Amino acid sequence: MKHLFVTLALGFSSVGVVAQEAAQVPDTPAARADVTAEILAGADVFDADGQNMGQITDVVFTDSGKVDAAVIAAGGFLGFGRHEAAVPVEELTVMDKADAEGEIIVQVPMTEEQFKALPRFAAMPMPASN
Q: Is residue 124 part of a domain?
A: no
Whether residue 101 lies inside any domain: the answer is yes
Determine the average pLDDT of the residues in 60-68: 89
Q: What is the CA radius of gyration of the chain?
A: 14
Number of domains in the chain: 1
- What global pTM score does this model have? 0.70
Q: Which residue has the higher pLDDT, 77 or 54?
A: 54
In a domain, 129, yes or no: no
Q: What share of the chain is helix, strand, coil (3-state, %, to 5)?
A: 15, 35, 50
* pLDDT tens-digit series, residues 86-123: 999 999 998 887 776 778 889 999 999 999 999 999 87
Query: Which of 1 and 83 is assigned the larger pLDDT?
Result: 83
Range of the domain at 93: 4-116
End-to-end CA distance of the chain: 20
Q: Which helix (H) or strand (E) holds 14?
A: helix 14-22
Q: How far apart are CA 2 and CA 63, in angstroms?
A: 6
CA angle 3, 116, 41 (to 5 degrees): 45
We report the CATH number of the domain holding residue 60 as: 2.30.30.240
Is residue 52 in some structural domain? Answer: yes
